[in-house]
Structure 1
């Protein structure tokens, strides 16, 4: 649903958040969009048209203006170069990380094994490994990438009317859509946010004024009730009545010559027509209607926010939108943690393998394949980039921190010569080793491919000429076809990076029959971990195992042996996938299983304690025996049918922008322990049947703290 906020917060230039995001409201047409389209005109910018310069033609005359449209994939947070497009297999483990490089379908080019699908399509990609901003701040580095101009001095955490325009605003001015001029540049599905209260500079039209803002549509396209308000005619305003109002406006226009000469209504005719055509044609409304897509296509892109937003981007460029900016948005509950989006300060490997790369690899390749099958890839430029990269050395939390000294991005489609790498970083992925470029070279390349002279100028609101960019197009990656005809068998295994699954836990009903994973030695294998297992049970008097048949479930029970030492425990634990700050509800269906000897075993079990636990791992080994307990619930199981037991706890701060450290990860555990302070004598050495705490089913749900949307 297109979420709106009626509170009158205002931007630095006086435009309220509601006005910025809303399509609808009062106007003489009863449509409202016209007010937004004409806001801030009078700069004269709308009359500017760029022409190709000799230098641009000299770079590659065949590629100037090759792109009809652009899909710009903004990987907010900063993807790590080491685990994506610039692996470093010869670096030490603390630099190269736990993942291996794999061959792509182009000889000599390797990607991370986290991108097996993308590696099979390297012939369509130009990979740039030597871009740098030299700044480690999201706001400042992102500003340079999104505008093509460095910010400074100071912080870019707040939007100012003097900001340099987002490059999409210049595209809207100089290369508006012929088919949908009102939607020349579209930004979906949310604003760029650093946290609840910070929406950084670089995403607005800046000093150009409101007329050149990208049209922002906030809402999750994966939501069942997703729709865009304001693209329909008001239900109480018949089409005939709208047409009559438009005719009346035409008559009124003839009486406004004096007012027009004042400049107040500059651009009014064009914007009024754009607003009318947008709403009356229904073309935009149809483009936003994802229900028109076959289920197989929606499944191929992925039924999550990123996947459906990228699919929506393809529909929008088909409808005639010139540039669609797809923002990798924050997940519910991630506005105050240490690894939101691609900002993997903690758990870099887990976040990449479980959440980020499964979404990117599946959706990015779905987009490339879909565009090609529809004949759109040759006219559509696709760019995937973040604001910077990440540190060469992995930190103590298993994460990588901000790094603007060198990072990578990829381009594909119109005018891009695929199957090549431009530039290189050094052995550690720390600095450019060859062909260094700056963000303005990327924007110059985009302008060139769209047919905008990168040496040209555009007028600011006072009519003064401003240079479009100070960069140069990256000529080496431009061309009419792949850079090489050579191909090879790509490596990697798509099963290693399966399509994204948003489940918080795996194997919650134990139907797989898979035995628990040993807690030592350390492993990145996912699923239930148990301790002690059969080989370890003798010294502890307790054991963890999985049962099949009628008693299907996990059993934390008595082991053959003499005693259960004081403090001995059996535990079944699993790491929470994509953990966030918020309210967790951890439930198990549990019963006491008395085993073959009945009452004697029941008496022994009555001496043991049972608990549910929410915890944080203490170190990188992720050994559940070494944890920080965050919440705990004691319970006593009953014999007979399993009964539900529930632990509910809010983890983190209820206030915005207060960091909740995920650290090495969060997890859940079921514990059976001797907390009596004395050994428990089992009274026999053998003959125990399956007796103990039987867990037949587990569930974990999450509810995020509501985000403060009123941040503009």
Structure 2
């Protein structure tokens, strides 16, 4: 599985840049997070021990070659792959989704998600924030993502643990916009299948203790090499109680243990697959088990932007993705986490119902399939349907915002809540917030 830079057809590189090991740490602005958490507690906001894992199928997966095969369609629509039966009678998946087919009784598939954009940027922003990107050339969030909203409202489920973690890098539009950089995700900066995997953001500060942090001068002296970077982020001027707790979060034992994938037994690791997909998804499970509230996994390499050689590219990524997702679903049930943790696997759009001249499928926002599991939803079902060629919803049409509304419901966050944007205008978390009733 390649770990090279992923590049979509719009030419935007998704390279993760780690500067002096500080990218994730400084992006957190943890003192701000802790202050706001304290303020929220003072206002009496409730907290519940729930979490989500968001599998970002970046690039836009094909519905036909995953969860919505069309075996009776003409050959240039159905494609060369075969349908297979699932654990639910009468429901079929495409052949590369074999492991998930066996556990569909513990999953739900929505085949009728749709929206109006074929742009990677606009569509990714929609599926991760609930709002279209107004300027499709904007590479920064215009609205905060679900992980950042959750970090702002809920915080983490355990002390010393970040609320929102992205593996191995943030989602395409997984950042905080006008909420402030203090709610951006903590990133691992590398795939969890790397030899001797460690998170630079944690190993950088190894050795720092609360005793050392009590002395401002000692702390700053210990950061001489990076003091300029830290001060530019406003951390050097915020050495107070919350800053001390912030450094404890990334330097203390709780975070290090949560990120220590070597604590998982080898059988479990192999069950997920010794691939970037498998180990990143396993680490996401480990993180939510240890108190992370939102873990996102960027499931790419190659991306799902399959304009050509779709079958070959699907074999490369579809098989390890399928294995890891199925392992996650079963693992959550075996550990008694299936009510606590909700999982969603969603790209930014589907693919054209007809194969193109390069043996691929192009961008198609008019219908897409989304997979969910856990969170106490009603499983063992397919919700909605696409037409006979897989081009438009034919039954129970839903939108990405409805999926996000279900995730917010699970997290105990009211999507009708508002926050002021840069201009002071109150903005709803979601403007479209109807639930997917079949899941409840």
More helix by share: 2
Equivalent residues in 2 for 1:14-93 (5 A)?
A: 22=22, 36-38=29-31, 47=40, 68-93=50-75
Corresponding residue of 1:302: 273
Structure 2: how far apart are the matches of 1:151 and 1:328?
22
8 Å CA contact 2:209–2:248 kept in 1: the answer is no
Shift of 1:429: 0.7
Once the two structures are TM-superposed, the CA of residue 215 in structure 1 deviates from its matched residue by: 1.3
2:120 counterpart (138, 141, 161): 138
C-alpha distance in structure 2 between counterparts of 1:444 and 1:127, whole Å:
16
Residue in 1 that maps onto 2:8: none
Are 1:110 and 2:80 an aligned pair?
no
Q: CA deviation at 1:94?
A: 0.4
Q: What does 1:554-703 correspond to in 2, within 5 Å? A: none
Distance 1:373-1:40 versus aligned 2 partners, 3 A rule = closer
Q: Over residues 71-97 of structure 1, what are the superposed CA-to-partner deviations in whole Å (9 max), with x where a residue is unaligned? A: 111111111101111111221010011
Instruction: Quote the Cα distance in structure 1 between the aligned partners of 2:361 and 2:50.
Output: 37
Q: Relative to 1, partners in 2 of residues 1:446 and 1:295: Cα closer, same or farther, differing over 3 Å?
A: same
Number of matched pairs:
411
Q: Does 1:216 align with 2:187?
A: yes
Structure 2: any 5+ residue segments left out of the alignment? Answer: 4-15, 220-234
Distance 1:391 1:133 in 2: 14
2:147 is aligned, of 168, 173, 189, to: 168
TM-score by length of 1: 0.53
Equivalent residue runs for 1:110-509 within 5 Å: 110-152=92-134, 154-159=135-140, 163-180=142-159, 183-192=162-171, 202-232=173-203, 234=205, 239=209, 241-242=211-212, 244-245=214-215, 271-330=242-301, 340-352=302-314, 354-460=315-421, 464-479=425-440
- C-alpha separation in 1, matches of 2:188 and 2:48: 28
Q: With the length of structure 2 as denominator, give the TM-score of the two structures.
A: 0.84
Q: What's the CA shift for 1:133?
A: 2.0
Aligned equivalent of 1:653:
none
Which runs of 5 or more residues in structure 1 are unaligned? 4-15, 25-31, 53-64, 193-199, 250-263, 331-339, 480-712
Measure the CA separation in 1 of the matches of 2:27 and 2:75: 57
CA RMSD of aligned residues (A): 3.4
Specify whether residues 241 and 265 from structure 1 end up closer, same or farther in structure 2 by C-alpha distance, changes over 3 A only. Answer: closer
- CA deviations on 1:382-438 (whole Å, 9 max, x unpaired) are 101111111100111111111111101011101211011111111111111122222
Question: 2 CA distance for matches of 1:302 and 1:361?
Answer: 10
Kindly state the Cα deviation for residue 69 of structure 1 after the two structures are TM-superposed. Answer: 0.6
Secondary structure of the residue aligned to 1:416 is coil
Q: 1:465 to 1:220 in 2, by over 3 A?
A: same
Q: Is this contact kept in 2: 1:180–1:321, CA < 8 A? A: no
Question: Do 2:166 and 2:188's aligned partners in 1 also have CA atoms closer than 8 Å?
Answer: yes
What CA distance in whole angstroms lies between the structure 1 residues aligned with 2:20 and 2:208? 26
- Contact 1:66–1:415 (Cα < 8 Å) also in 2: no
User: Following the alignment from structure 2 to structure 1, what is the Cα–Cα distance between the partners of residues 170 and 157?
Assistant: 26
Cα distance between partner residues in 1 of 2:62 and 2:281: 21
CA contact (8 A) 2:419 2:426 kept: yes
Secondary structure of the residue aligned to 2:339 is helix
SS at match of 1:231: helix
Q: 1 or 2, which has the higher strand percentage?
A: 1
Are 1:97 and 2:79 matched, yes or no?
yes
Q: Secondary structure of the residue that 1:283 maps to in structure 2?
A: helix
**Larger RCO of the pair (alpha carbons < 8 Å, separation 6+):** 2
In the TM superposition, residue 294 of structure 1 has moved relative to its aligned partner by 1.2
Query: Which sits farther off after the overlay, 88-97 or 276-285?
Result: 276-285
Mapped partners of 1:411, 1:19: distance in 2: 35
Shift of 1:38: 3.6
Distance 1:246 1:124, change over 3 A: farther
CA gap 1:472/1:95 in 2 versus in 1, 3 angstroms: same
Whole-angstrom distance in 2 between the partners of 1:115 and 1:104: 9
CA distance in 2, matches of 1:140, 1:429: 22
Pick closer, same or farther for the CA change 1:444–1:97 going to 2, 3 Å. Answer: same
| Cα pair distance change 1:172/1:379, threshold 3 Å | same
Asked whether the equivalents of residues 161 and 291 of structure 2 are also in contact (C-alpha less than 8 Å), the reply is no
Q: In the aligned structure 2, how far is the partner of 1:90 from the partner of 1:34? A: 50
Q: What CA distance in whole angstroms lies between the structure 2 residues aligned with 1:99 and 1:233?
A: 47
C-alpha contact 1:50 1:452 (8 A) present in aligned 2: no
Instruction: Give yes or no for contact 1:23–1:231 (8 Å, CA) kept in 2.
Output: no
In the alignment, the residues of structure 2 paired with residue 270 and residue 81 of structure 1 have an alpha-carbon distance, to the nearest angstrom, of 50
Secondary structure in 2 aligned to 1:378? coil
Deviation at 1:37, TM superposition (A): 1.8
Question: What is the rounded CA distance, in whole Å, between the counterparts of 2:38 and 2:363 in structure 1?
Answer: 37
Aligned partner of residue 114 in structure 1, secondary structure = helix
Q: Distance in 2 between matches of 1:449 and 1:20?
A: 37
